[in-house]
Amino acid sequence: MIKLEILRYLKDERFIEWMLKPTDELDSYWEVFAAAHPEEVAHIEQAKAYFKRIKLGHYQTTAQQRTETLNALHKSLNAHRRKKQIRRIAYGVVACAIIVVLSLTYFYGYMHSSSELTETADYIVGSELESESILLITGGTSTVFDSDVAIAINQDQSVSVSSGDSETRTIAIDEDTTNKLIVPYGKRSQVTLADGSRVWLNSGSSLEFPSSFEKGEREVSLTGEMYIEVASNTDKPFYVYTPHYRVNVYGTAFNVSTYRDSPSSVVLVEGSIALQSQQQDGVLLMPNEQAIFSPSTGGFEKRKVDPALLTSWKDGYLTFEDTPISEALKQIGRYYNLSFNFGEHVSLQGMTCTGKIILSDNVNNVMTALSLISGMAYKMEEGLIYMYNNNDE
Protein backbone atom coordinates (compact mmCIF):
# COMPACT_ATOMS: atom_id res chain seq x y z
CA MET A 1 0.00 0.00 0.00
CA ILE A 2 1.01 3.55 -0.65
CA LYS A 3 2.81 5.33 2.15
CA LEU A 4 1.03 7.98 4.17
CA GLU A 5 3.77 10.51 3.39
CA ILE A 6 3.01 10.20 -0.30
CA LEU A 7 -0.74 10.02 0.10
CA ARG A 8 -0.62 13.38 1.86
CA TYR A 9 0.48 15.05 -1.36
CA LEU A 10 -2.11 13.34 -3.51
CA LYS A 11 -4.80 14.83 -1.29
CA ASP A 12 -3.20 18.26 -1.22
CA GLU A 13 -5.03 20.98 -3.09
CA ARG A 14 -1.86 22.78 -4.13
CA PHE A 15 -0.23 19.59 -5.27
CA ILE A 16 -3.26 18.68 -7.42
CA GLU A 17 -3.31 22.11 -8.96
CA TRP A 18 0.42 21.98 -9.58
CA MET A 19 0.03 18.65 -11.40
CA LEU A 20 -2.88 19.71 -13.57
CA LYS A 21 -2.32 23.36 -14.07
CA PRO A 22 1.29 24.29 -13.37
CA THR A 23 1.97 28.02 -13.20
CA ASP A 24 5.17 29.93 -12.46
CA GLU A 25 3.84 30.69 -9.03
CA LEU A 26 3.16 27.05 -8.26
CA ASP A 27 6.52 26.02 -9.61
CA SER A 28 8.31 28.43 -7.30
CA TYR A 29 6.06 27.48 -4.41
CA TRP A 30 7.10 23.84 -4.69
CA GLU A 31 10.70 24.77 -5.37
CA VAL A 32 10.83 26.73 -2.15
CA PHE A 33 9.01 23.93 -0.33
CA ALA A 34 11.47 21.30 -1.59
CA ALA A 35 14.41 23.50 -0.63
CA ALA A 36 12.99 23.89 2.85
CA HIS A 37 12.20 20.17 3.21
CA PRO A 38 14.85 18.20 1.28
CA GLU A 39 13.70 14.98 2.98
CA GLU A 40 10.36 15.36 1.16
CA VAL A 41 11.82 15.47 -2.35
CA ALA A 42 11.65 11.69 -2.85
CA HIS A 43 8.04 11.59 -1.59
CA ILE A 44 7.03 14.36 -3.96
CA GLU A 45 8.57 12.51 -6.89
CA GLN A 46 6.69 9.35 -5.97
CA ALA A 47 3.47 11.27 -5.51
CA LYS A 48 3.93 12.66 -9.03
CA ALA A 49 4.30 9.15 -10.40
CA TYR A 50 1.12 8.01 -8.64
CA PHE A 51 -0.78 11.02 -9.83
CA LYS A 52 0.08 10.16 -13.45
CA ARG A 53 -1.82 6.91 -12.99
CA ILE A 54 -5.08 8.66 -12.20
CA LYS A 55 -7.26 8.71 -15.28
CA LEU A 56 -9.02 11.90 -16.17
CA GLY A 57 -11.87 12.00 -18.63
CA HIS A 58 -11.27 8.41 -19.58
CA TYR A 59 -14.00 6.44 -21.34
CA GLN A 60 -13.76 3.22 -23.28
CA THR A 61 -15.76 1.91 -26.19
CA THR A 62 -17.03 -1.65 -26.10
CA ALA A 63 -15.86 -4.22 -28.64
CA GLN A 64 -19.37 -4.20 -30.08
CA GLN A 65 -19.34 -0.41 -30.53
CA ARG A 66 -15.98 -0.67 -32.24
CA THR A 67 -16.97 -3.27 -34.81
CA GLU A 68 -20.38 -1.70 -35.44
CA THR A 69 -18.97 1.73 -36.15
CA LEU A 70 -16.11 0.35 -38.18
CA ASN A 71 -18.58 -1.55 -40.36
CA ALA A 72 -20.77 1.53 -40.69
CA LEU A 73 -17.77 3.53 -41.85
CA HIS A 74 -16.78 0.86 -44.34
CA LYS A 75 -20.31 0.82 -45.70
CA SER A 76 -20.58 4.59 -46.13
CA LEU A 77 -17.20 4.70 -47.86
CA ASN A 78 -18.25 2.00 -50.29
CA ALA A 79 -21.51 3.78 -51.02
CA HIS A 80 -19.59 7.01 -51.60
CA ARG A 81 -17.15 5.26 -53.93
CA ARG A 82 -19.94 3.76 -56.02
CA LYS A 83 -21.54 7.16 -56.44
CA LYS A 84 -18.18 8.58 -57.42
CA GLN A 85 -17.56 5.82 -59.94
CA ILE A 86 -20.79 6.65 -61.70
CA ARG A 87 -19.74 10.28 -61.75
CA ARG A 88 -16.28 9.30 -63.00
CA ILE A 89 -17.72 7.32 -65.90
CA ALA A 90 -19.93 10.27 -66.76
CA TYR A 91 -16.90 12.57 -66.70
CA GLY A 92 -15.07 10.00 -68.78
CA VAL A 93 -17.72 10.13 -71.46
CA VAL A 94 -17.49 13.91 -71.52
CA ALA A 95 -13.69 13.70 -71.58
CA CYS A 96 -13.86 11.26 -74.50
CA ALA A 97 -16.13 13.58 -76.41
CA ILE A 98 -13.73 16.45 -75.80
CA ILE A 99 -10.81 14.31 -76.95
CA VAL A 100 -12.66 13.49 -80.17
CA VAL A 101 -13.42 17.12 -80.89
CA LEU A 102 -9.85 18.14 -80.10
CA SER A 103 -8.44 15.31 -82.15
CA LEU A 104 -10.59 16.12 -85.14
CA THR A 105 -9.89 19.83 -85.12
CA TYR A 106 -6.33 19.94 -83.87
CA PHE A 107 -4.71 16.82 -85.21
CA TYR A 108 -6.44 16.85 -88.55
CA GLY A 109 -3.52 18.45 -90.38
CA TYR A 110 -0.86 16.77 -88.30
CA MET A 111 -0.92 13.21 -89.48
CA HIS A 112 2.64 12.59 -88.39
CA SER A 113 2.31 13.58 -84.81
CA SER A 114 4.94 12.10 -82.54
CA SER A 115 2.60 10.44 -80.08
CA GLU A 116 1.23 7.21 -81.39
CA LEU A 117 -1.78 7.38 -79.11
CA THR A 118 -3.08 10.66 -80.36
CA GLU A 119 -2.80 9.65 -84.00
CA THR A 120 -6.24 8.21 -83.87
CA ALA A 121 -9.28 9.26 -81.98
CA ASP A 122 -10.51 5.73 -82.02
CA TYR A 123 -9.52 4.40 -78.69
CA ILE A 124 -11.20 3.27 -75.56
CA VAL A 125 -9.74 4.37 -72.27
CA GLY A 126 -9.87 2.04 -69.31
CA SER A 127 -8.82 2.80 -65.75
CA GLU A 128 -8.26 0.58 -62.78
CA LEU A 129 -10.70 1.18 -59.95
CA GLU A 130 -9.88 0.94 -56.27
CA SER A 131 -10.43 -2.53 -54.97
CA GLU A 132 -13.23 -3.28 -52.55
CA SER A 133 -13.66 -6.15 -50.15
CA ILE A 134 -16.07 -9.03 -50.18
CA LEU A 135 -18.73 -8.59 -47.52
CA LEU A 136 -20.59 -11.44 -45.81
CA ILE A 137 -23.59 -10.35 -43.76
CA THR A 138 -25.01 -12.96 -41.42
CA GLY A 139 -27.83 -11.81 -39.20
CA GLY A 140 -26.65 -8.58 -37.61
CA THR A 141 -22.93 -8.99 -38.18
CA SER A 142 -20.86 -8.47 -41.27
CA THR A 143 -17.44 -9.85 -42.08
CA VAL A 144 -15.01 -8.46 -44.61
CA PHE A 145 -12.66 -10.47 -46.85
CA ASP A 146 -9.94 -9.09 -49.05
CA SER A 147 -9.61 -12.05 -51.39
CA ASP A 148 -12.05 -14.44 -53.07
CA VAL A 149 -13.93 -16.75 -50.68
CA ALA A 150 -15.60 -20.14 -50.71
CA ILE A 151 -18.49 -20.35 -48.29
CA ALA A 152 -20.37 -23.43 -47.11
CA ILE A 153 -23.46 -23.51 -44.89
CA ASN A 154 -23.06 -26.35 -42.41
CA GLN A 155 -25.79 -28.41 -40.77
CA ASP A 156 -24.83 -27.19 -37.27
CA GLN A 157 -25.83 -23.56 -37.83
CA SER A 158 -22.46 -22.27 -38.84
CA VAL A 159 -20.78 -21.04 -41.99
CA SER A 160 -17.30 -22.18 -43.02
CA VAL A 161 -15.40 -19.56 -44.94
CA SER A 162 -12.10 -20.23 -46.67
CA SER A 163 -10.45 -17.24 -48.20
CA GLY A 164 -7.27 -17.24 -50.27
CA ASP A 165 -4.27 -18.32 -48.25
CA SER A 166 -5.75 -17.93 -44.78
CA GLU A 167 -7.25 -20.73 -42.71
CA THR A 168 -10.91 -21.71 -42.83
CA ARG A 169 -13.01 -19.63 -40.48
CA THR A 170 -16.27 -20.69 -38.92
CA ILE A 171 -18.98 -18.14 -38.24
CA ALA A 172 -22.02 -19.05 -36.16
CA ILE A 173 -25.40 -18.18 -37.68
CA ASP A 174 -29.01 -18.34 -36.55
CA GLU A 175 -31.24 -20.89 -38.16
CA ASP A 176 -33.81 -18.43 -39.42
CA THR A 177 -31.66 -15.53 -40.62
CA THR A 178 -31.09 -14.45 -44.19
CA ASN A 179 -27.48 -14.02 -45.16
CA LYS A 180 -26.03 -11.86 -47.86
CA LEU A 181 -22.78 -12.20 -49.73
CA ILE A 182 -21.66 -9.12 -51.62
CA VAL A 183 -18.89 -9.66 -54.16
CA PRO A 184 -17.48 -6.42 -55.63
CA TYR A 185 -16.06 -5.99 -59.11
CA GLY A 186 -12.68 -7.66 -59.39
CA LYS A 187 -13.60 -10.49 -56.99
CA ARG A 188 -15.40 -13.86 -57.21
CA SER A 189 -16.83 -16.31 -54.67
CA GLN A 190 -18.39 -19.72 -54.28
CA VAL A 191 -21.26 -20.65 -51.99
CA THR A 192 -22.52 -24.08 -50.98
CA LEU A 193 -26.09 -23.62 -49.77
CA ALA A 194 -27.77 -25.47 -46.91
CA ASP A 195 -29.27 -28.04 -49.31
CA GLY A 196 -25.92 -28.70 -51.02
CA SER A 197 -26.66 -26.59 -54.10
CA ARG A 198 -23.49 -24.97 -55.41
CA VAL A 199 -23.25 -21.36 -56.52
CA TRP A 200 -20.43 -19.60 -58.38
CA LEU A 201 -20.90 -15.89 -57.83
CA ASN A 202 -19.34 -13.64 -60.44
CA SER A 203 -17.82 -10.17 -59.91
CA GLY A 204 -20.15 -7.34 -58.99
CA SER A 205 -22.87 -9.60 -57.61
CA SER A 206 -24.75 -10.15 -54.41
CA LEU A 207 -26.66 -13.20 -53.26
CA GLU A 208 -29.17 -13.43 -50.43
CA PHE A 209 -29.68 -16.88 -49.02
CA PRO A 210 -31.22 -18.33 -45.86
CA SER A 211 -29.23 -20.25 -43.25
CA SER A 212 -31.49 -23.25 -43.73
CA PHE A 213 -34.26 -24.33 -46.07
CA GLU A 214 -36.67 -25.49 -43.37
CA LYS A 215 -39.74 -24.17 -45.11
CA GLY A 216 -41.45 -25.78 -48.05
CA GLU A 217 -39.64 -23.70 -50.65
CA ARG A 218 -36.00 -22.87 -51.29
CA GLU A 219 -35.53 -19.22 -52.17
CA VAL A 220 -32.49 -17.08 -52.97
CA SER A 221 -32.18 -13.56 -54.41
CA LEU A 222 -29.57 -12.46 -56.88
CA THR A 223 -28.24 -9.32 -58.46
CA GLY A 224 -25.31 -9.66 -60.86
CA GLU A 225 -24.37 -13.07 -62.19
CA MET A 226 -24.16 -16.60 -60.89
CA TYR A 227 -23.83 -20.12 -62.14
CA ILE A 228 -25.77 -22.56 -59.99
CA GLU A 229 -26.04 -26.31 -59.71
CA VAL A 230 -29.24 -26.92 -57.80
CA ALA A 231 -29.43 -30.03 -55.63
CA SER A 232 -32.41 -32.10 -56.69
CA ASN A 233 -35.34 -32.20 -54.25
CA THR A 234 -38.81 -32.62 -55.70
CA ASP A 235 -40.49 -31.81 -52.36
CA LYS A 236 -38.94 -28.38 -52.13
CA PRO A 237 -39.05 -26.25 -55.28
CA PHE A 238 -36.11 -23.87 -55.75
CA TYR A 239 -36.67 -20.24 -56.73
CA VAL A 240 -34.17 -17.62 -57.80
CA TYR A 241 -35.45 -14.07 -57.47
CA THR A 242 -33.88 -11.41 -59.70
CA PRO A 243 -34.88 -7.74 -59.92
CA HIS A 244 -37.28 -8.44 -62.80
CA TYR A 245 -38.26 -12.07 -62.77
CA ARG A 246 -38.24 -15.35 -60.94
CA VAL A 247 -36.59 -18.57 -62.04
CA ASN A 248 -38.44 -21.72 -61.00
CA VAL A 249 -36.04 -24.62 -60.80
CA TYR A 250 -36.62 -28.33 -60.99
CA GLY A 251 -33.12 -29.69 -60.17
CA THR A 252 -30.66 -28.42 -62.67
CA ALA A 253 -27.60 -26.33 -63.60
CA PHE A 254 -27.92 -22.92 -65.15
CA ASN A 255 -26.46 -19.43 -65.34
CA VAL A 256 -28.31 -16.23 -64.40
CA SER A 257 -26.93 -12.85 -65.37
CA THR A 258 -28.68 -9.69 -64.21
CA TYR A 259 -26.12 -6.90 -64.52
CA ARG A 260 -27.59 -3.46 -64.84
CA ASP A 261 -25.38 -2.51 -67.79
CA SER A 262 -25.96 -5.67 -69.86
CA PRO A 263 -29.10 -7.52 -70.95
CA SER A 264 -30.38 -9.80 -68.21
CA SER A 265 -30.41 -13.43 -69.24
CA VAL A 266 -30.67 -17.05 -68.09
CA VAL A 267 -28.82 -19.92 -69.75
CA LEU A 268 -29.81 -23.49 -69.00
CA VAL A 269 -27.08 -26.12 -68.98
CA GLU A 270 -29.06 -29.14 -67.84
CA GLY A 271 -32.40 -30.05 -66.27
CA SER A 272 -35.36 -27.76 -66.65
CA ILE A 273 -36.43 -24.35 -65.39
CA ALA A 274 -39.29 -21.93 -65.93
CA LEU A 275 -39.12 -18.15 -65.88
CA GLN A 276 -41.75 -15.92 -64.43
CA SER A 277 -41.90 -12.14 -64.73
CA GLN A 278 -44.85 -9.86 -64.01
CA GLN A 279 -45.77 -9.77 -67.68
CA GLN A 280 -44.93 -13.28 -68.77
CA ASP A 281 -45.47 -16.48 -66.85
CA GLY A 282 -44.19 -20.00 -67.29
CA VAL A 283 -41.53 -19.57 -69.98
CA LEU A 284 -40.03 -23.04 -70.09
CA LEU A 285 -36.35 -23.29 -70.93
CA MET A 286 -34.67 -26.35 -72.43
CA PRO A 287 -30.96 -27.18 -72.10
CA ASN A 288 -28.77 -25.13 -74.44
CA GLU A 289 -31.33 -22.37 -74.52
CA GLN A 290 -30.87 -18.81 -73.39
CA ALA A 291 -33.72 -16.52 -72.37
CA ILE A 292 -33.01 -12.80 -72.59
CA PHE A 293 -35.22 -10.51 -70.55
CA SER A 294 -36.57 -7.49 -72.36
CA PRO A 295 -37.13 -4.57 -70.00
CA SER A 296 -39.44 -2.83 -72.49
CA THR A 297 -41.93 -5.68 -72.83
CA GLY A 298 -41.24 -7.38 -69.52
CA GLY A 299 -41.08 -10.70 -71.38
CA PHE A 300 -38.37 -13.07 -72.60
CA GLU A 301 -36.79 -13.92 -75.92
CA LYS A 302 -35.38 -17.39 -76.38
CA ARG A 303 -32.49 -18.52 -78.54
CA LYS A 304 -30.20 -21.54 -78.96
CA VAL A 305 -26.73 -21.07 -77.50
CA ASP A 306 -23.67 -23.04 -76.54
CA PRO A 307 -23.88 -22.78 -72.73
CA ALA A 308 -20.13 -23.29 -72.42
CA LEU A 309 -19.63 -19.86 -74.00
CA LEU A 310 -21.70 -18.13 -71.37
CA THR A 311 -20.70 -20.08 -68.29
CA SER A 312 -16.95 -20.46 -68.82
CA TRP A 313 -16.20 -17.60 -66.39
CA LYS A 314 -16.75 -20.00 -63.51
CA ASP A 315 -13.91 -22.16 -64.79
CA GLY A 316 -11.56 -19.22 -65.11
CA TYR A 317 -11.84 -18.15 -68.74
CA LEU A 318 -14.08 -16.07 -70.96
CA THR A 319 -15.29 -17.27 -74.32
CA PHE A 320 -16.28 -14.91 -77.10
CA GLU A 321 -17.92 -15.67 -80.40
CA ASP A 322 -18.52 -12.67 -82.61
CA THR A 323 -18.93 -10.76 -79.37
CA PRO A 324 -18.91 -6.97 -79.71
CA ILE A 325 -15.68 -5.57 -78.30
CA SER A 326 -17.69 -3.36 -75.97
CA GLU A 327 -19.40 -6.39 -74.41
CA ALA A 328 -16.06 -8.19 -74.07
CA LEU A 329 -14.57 -5.16 -72.33
CA LYS A 330 -17.57 -4.97 -70.00
CA GLN A 331 -17.01 -8.57 -68.94
CA ILE A 332 -13.27 -8.05 -68.48
CA GLY A 333 -13.93 -4.79 -66.64
CA ARG A 334 -16.21 -6.52 -64.13
CA TYR A 335 -13.76 -9.32 -63.58
CA TYR A 336 -10.75 -7.06 -63.01
CA ASN A 337 -12.56 -4.04 -61.58
CA LEU A 338 -11.65 -1.76 -64.47
CA SER A 339 -13.74 1.00 -65.89
CA PHE A 340 -13.81 1.41 -69.66
CA ASN A 341 -15.19 4.52 -71.23
CA PHE A 342 -16.95 3.97 -74.51
CA GLY A 343 -17.28 6.96 -76.74
CA GLU A 344 -20.15 6.83 -79.18
CA HIS A 345 -17.91 8.02 -81.98
CA VAL A 346 -15.74 5.00 -82.07
CA SER A 347 -15.64 2.75 -85.06
CA LEU A 348 -14.49 0.10 -82.61
CA GLN A 349 -18.08 -0.23 -81.58
CA GLY A 350 -18.73 -2.36 -84.65
CA MET A 351 -15.78 -4.63 -83.98
CA THR A 352 -16.17 -8.10 -82.60
CA CYS A 353 -13.87 -10.73 -81.19
CA THR A 354 -13.84 -14.52 -81.21
CA GLY A 355 -11.78 -16.73 -78.96
CA LYS A 356 -10.93 -17.64 -75.40
CA ILE A 357 -9.29 -15.50 -72.77
CA ILE A 358 -7.81 -17.12 -69.68
CA LEU A 359 -8.64 -14.99 -66.67
CA SER A 360 -5.15 -14.82 -65.20
CA ASP A 361 -4.17 -12.69 -62.23
CA ASN A 362 -2.33 -10.32 -64.51
CA VAL A 363 -4.50 -7.86 -66.41
CA ASN A 364 -1.69 -7.41 -68.92
CA ASN A 365 -1.98 -11.03 -70.06
CA VAL A 366 -5.71 -10.61 -70.48
CA MET A 367 -5.38 -7.44 -72.49
CA THR A 368 -2.73 -9.09 -74.67
CA ALA A 369 -5.09 -11.99 -75.30
CA LEU A 370 -7.91 -9.60 -76.13
CA SER A 371 -5.66 -7.74 -78.61
CA LEU A 372 -4.83 -11.05 -80.28
CA ILE A 373 -8.43 -12.13 -80.74
CA SER A 374 -9.76 -8.69 -81.64
CA GLY A 375 -6.96 -7.42 -83.87
CA MET A 376 -6.72 -4.32 -81.73
CA ALA A 377 -3.75 -2.90 -79.88
CA TYR A 378 -3.61 -1.78 -76.29
CA LYS A 379 -1.30 0.24 -74.15
CA MET A 380 -1.14 0.66 -70.38
CA GLU A 381 0.03 3.97 -69.04
CA GLU A 382 -0.25 5.29 -65.49
CA GLY A 383 -3.12 3.02 -64.56
CA LEU A 384 -5.06 3.78 -67.75
CA ILE A 385 -5.60 1.28 -70.51
CA TYR A 386 -5.88 2.56 -74.05
CA MET A 387 -7.38 0.30 -76.71
CA TYR A 388 -7.10 1.40 -80.27
CA ASN A 389 -7.36 0.08 -83.76
CA ASN A 390 -4.12 -1.46 -84.92
CA ASN A 391 -4.71 -0.86 -88.60
CA ASP A 392 -5.11 2.89 -88.22
CA GLU A 393 -1.47 3.41 -87.33
Residue ranges in contact with other proteins by CB under 8 A: 1-2, 7, 10-14, 16-17, 19-26, 29, 32-33, 36, 50, 53-61, 65-66, 69-70, 72-74, 76-78, 80-81, 84, 130, 133, 146
DSSP 28: H
* CB nearer other proteins, residue 53 or residue 304: 53
> From residue 291, how far is each of 56, 120, 264, 299, 311 by CA, in Å?
68, 39, 9, 9, 14
Q: How far is the CB of 379 from other proteins (least distance, A)?
A: 22
**d(C-alpha 148, C-alpha 159), whole Å:** 16
Residue 146: what residue type? Answer: D
Could you tell me how far CA 252 lies from the centroid of its own chain? 28
Instruction: For Cα atoms 100, 106, 110, give the angle at the middle one, nearest 5 degrees.
Output: 115
Residue whose C-alpha is closest to residue 336's, from 148, 206, 191, 192: 148
Give 153's strand partners: 159
DSSP helix/strand/coil, 171 = strand
* CB nearer other proteins, residue 18 or residue 336: 18
Q: How far is the CB of 185 from other proteins (least distance, A)?
A: 15
265, 236 Cβ separation under 8 angstroms? no
Residue whose C-alpha is closest to residue 186's, from 262, 133, 120: 133
123, 325 Cβ separation under 8 angstroms? no
* CB nearer other proteins, residue 49 or residue 111: 49
* CB nearer other proteins, residue 9 or residue 320: 9
Q: How far is the CB of 376 from other proteins (least distance, A)?
A: 28
Q: How far is the CB of 136 from other proteins (least distance, A)?
A: 16
* CB nearer other proteins, residue 84 or residue 303: 84
Q: How far is the CB of 35 from other proteins (least distance, A)?
A: 9
3-state per-residue secondary structure call for 85-139: HHHHHHHHHHHHHHHHHHHHHHCCCCCCCCCCCCCCCCEEEEEECCCCCEEEEEC
* CB nearer other proteins, residue 24 or residue 322: 24
Q: How far is the CB of 384 from other proteins (least distance, A)?
A: 13
* CB nearer other proteins, residue 126 or residue 299: 126
* CB nearer other proteins, residue 44 or residue 377: 44
Q: How far is the CB of 144 from other proteins (least distance, A)?
A: 9
Q: How far is the CB of 385 from other proteins (least distance, A)?
A: 17
